[in-house]
Amino acid sequence: MPEKAAKRQPGSRPSIRDVARKAGVSPGCVSNVINGRRKLDDPIGRAVLEAVNELGYRRNTMASNLRRSQSRIIGLVIPNFENPFFAELVAKLEQRAETTNYRIVATSSREDPETEAREIDELVGWRVAGVFVIPSLSSRALNLVSASETPFVFLDRIPQNAAIDGVGVNNAEACALLMRHLFEAGHSRILVAYLGDGIANVAERLDGVRNAVAEHEQPVTVDYLPTGDSIEGARAALDAYFDHNPKPDAVFCLFNTATLAAYGLLQQRGFVLGKDMALAGFDDSAWMAHVHPPVAAIVQPIEEIAKVAWERLLARIEGDTSAPETIRINCRLEARESLASVETQAG
């Protein structure tokens, strides 16, 4: 376990040895982290940064060290590292960084707006060249972004009326496409599981579902179920729904954690996907194509999102002062075997 830093005299400044003791590493490791010779987002790097922040070392010495390489460091704030979509997006951005001699410093807000604001403040304090944010977004965080001279680009979740560049997908169109596919297959009772209210891309996806329902000429029943962001929470919410409601003939999950939870629950309850019930998810994951039957998905073009976002941020770093813009990229539907038709279910 990391050692506690030795007590210092009141008013004394923390030393590199204090940071090393607090982080449970050698002073050499601390030096490598704060001088940019070691990644900031591996376990040692994160331990050093936590110790630096807790002891106040960064504000005294680290910022001056980072200034020497500030133009080669890009900050990235994401909701969490567990979500496969976020993890893959980080990997694609890191590939872009490597080809242009930049480094990515990634951190998680844990879906907490105040944590997000603190992380944004820290990155700006390090004088990074630019920052990508997948926002949760508190008013404080938005104010920090708007007031900063550091270039920012919002990814995935693009707040309305924010005068900041944004790169995402056409969420509403993609969800409407999937709903029309379900309608054409004869489904008339559909459960839509979603993360929760107050998140920009969630609202867009729900708009797409509702637009498709409004345009459909036949009567349909669509239930909307907020599940939270964890697999356990999604599983519990879905379990309660199936205990107290008529069985839907299709389940559409608007984020991949809920898709995984729904897949496990429906299997446990004895439903045969592609026969007893249809299942589809927004965001593809490797497992979805390799289970039986394969699970249908709205696929986000992560490679293209990373490319467009990187080019936008780099242009800002290099002095582009044009008006902020929001760039939307189309998704595609991977219509796999879990999309049962009503005729198949009846048979």
Q: How far apart are CA 57 and CA 192, in angstroms?
A: 48
Q: From residue 175, how far is each of 2, 8, 213 by CA, in Å? A: 47, 58, 11
pLDDT at position 141, please? Answer: 80
Provide the whole-model pTM: 0.75
CB 137 within 8 A of CB 114: no
At 94, the pLDDT band (50, 70, 90 cuts) reads very high
Residue 311 main-chain phi, psi, to 5 deg: -65, -40
Residues 112-131 pLDDT 10s: 888 988 999 889 888 899 99
Top-confidence residue, 73 or 136: 73
CA torsion sign for 211, 159, 193, 177 is positive
Q: List, for residues 260-275, the tens digit of each pLDDT value.
A: 999 999 999 999 998 8
Q: Is 347 helix (H, G, I), strand (E, B) or coil?
A: coil
* Contact yes or no for 5/22 (Cβ under 8 A): yes
Q: Among 44-53, 114-123, 192-201, name the one with the lowest average pLDDT.
A: 44-53
- The SS3 call for residue 176 is helix
Q: Does 136 have pLDDT greater than 90? A: no
Cα–Cα distance for residue pair 231/281, rounded to 1 Å: 14
What's the rounded Cα separation, in Å, for the pair 205 and 230?
A: 19
Q: Which two tokens stand for residue 22?
A: 């607090």
User: What pLDDT does 66 receive?
Assistant: 46
Side by side, the strands of the sheet bearing 332-334 are 221-226, 189-194, 250-253, 278-282, 296-299, 332-334
pLDDT of 305 > 60? The answer is yes
Residue ranges and CATH numbers for the domains of the chain are 1-68 (1.10.260.40), 171-300+332-346 (3.40.50.2300)
pLDDT value at 190 more than 70: yes
Q: Is the pLDDT of residue 222 over 90?
A: yes
Q: What is the mean pLDDT of residues 6-33?
A: 72
% of the chain residues with pLDDT over 70: 87
- Say what the pLDDT of residue 38 is: 64
Give the residue-averaged pLDDT of 275-289.
94
Count other C-beta atoms under 10 Å from residue 49's C-beta. 23
**For residue 343, what pLDDT band results from cuts at 50, 70 and 90?**
low
Please determine, for residue 320, whether its predicted confidence score (pLDDT) is greater than 50: yes
Return the beta strands (E) in 23-79 as ranges: 73-78
